[in-house]
Amino acid sequence: MNIRYCAALGALLGAPAFAAGLGVNVEIPRLNVAEYHRPYVAVWIERADNTVPATLAVWYDVKMRGAEGEGTKWLKDMRQWWRRTGRELQMPVDGVSGATKPAGKHQISFTEGSNPLPRLPAGSYRLVVEASREVGGREVVTIPFQWPPAKAEQLQGQGSSELGAIALDLKP
């Protein structure tokens, strides 16, 4: 009798816990300009009231770490992210911050409850991607979504200058 209970408990505890997740695809276009610099990019989730439950990624020049923290000095050029949550963070942030990315398509994915995506209460949210480039422009792309996702779906956004196609893959 005890063996059955132990086996049932072991199966229950050994079963994987399924958590919702999301994937983000960010396209950084190659610009035909005389002086090209890779953009700084921030990816985060906002609630309807503009508060930020999670910063998912911040790509910046991590090599510029001189006495003045040169690489972090330009993070404030991503103005919307900086005002909402960036100024509260101490860079680098493990699992969130990383080096700038070259032109091309970049994919990141997250599982709810794992750093940096906390468990989110049900509701309306926005995925926000902001890019800012030295000797260039600044652009923000926003994709609204409902959490938790009822079904797997892909939502799209499109940049026009500093960002290309942005895709949000929701997984129940």
Task: Order the strands of the 123-132 sheet from edge to edge.
Answer: 97-99, 54-60, 40-47, 123-132, 138-147
Strand partners, 23: 109, 169
Query: How far is it, in rounded angstroms, from Cα 51 to Cα 54?
Result: 9
Domain boundaries, the chain: 19-171
What's the pLDDT at 6?
Answer: 46
Query: How far is it, in rounded angstroms, from Cα 72 to Cα 123?
Result: 33
Q: Left if phi > 0, otherwise alpha if psi is -120 to 50, otherwise beta: which for 24?
A: beta
What percent of the residues of the chain are helix, what percent strand, and what percent coil, each to the nearest 5?
15, 40, 45
pLDDT tens for the chain, residues 1 to 172: 555 444 444 444 443 456 899 999 999 999 998 888 999 999 999 999 999 999 999 999 987 655 456 788 889 999 999 999 999 999 889 889 999 999 999 999 999 999 999 999 999 999 999 999 988 899 999 999 999 999 999 999 999 999 999 999 999 9
In order of 72, 91, 138, 161, the CA distances from 35 in angstroms are: 21, 27, 16, 15
CB atoms within 10 A of CB 161: 13
Query: How far is it, in rounded angstroms, from Cα 29 to Cα 153?
Result: 24
CATH fold, domain 19-171, is Immunoglobulin-like (2.60.40)
What's the pLDDT at 16?
Answer: 43
Q: Is the pTM of this model over 0.95?
A: no
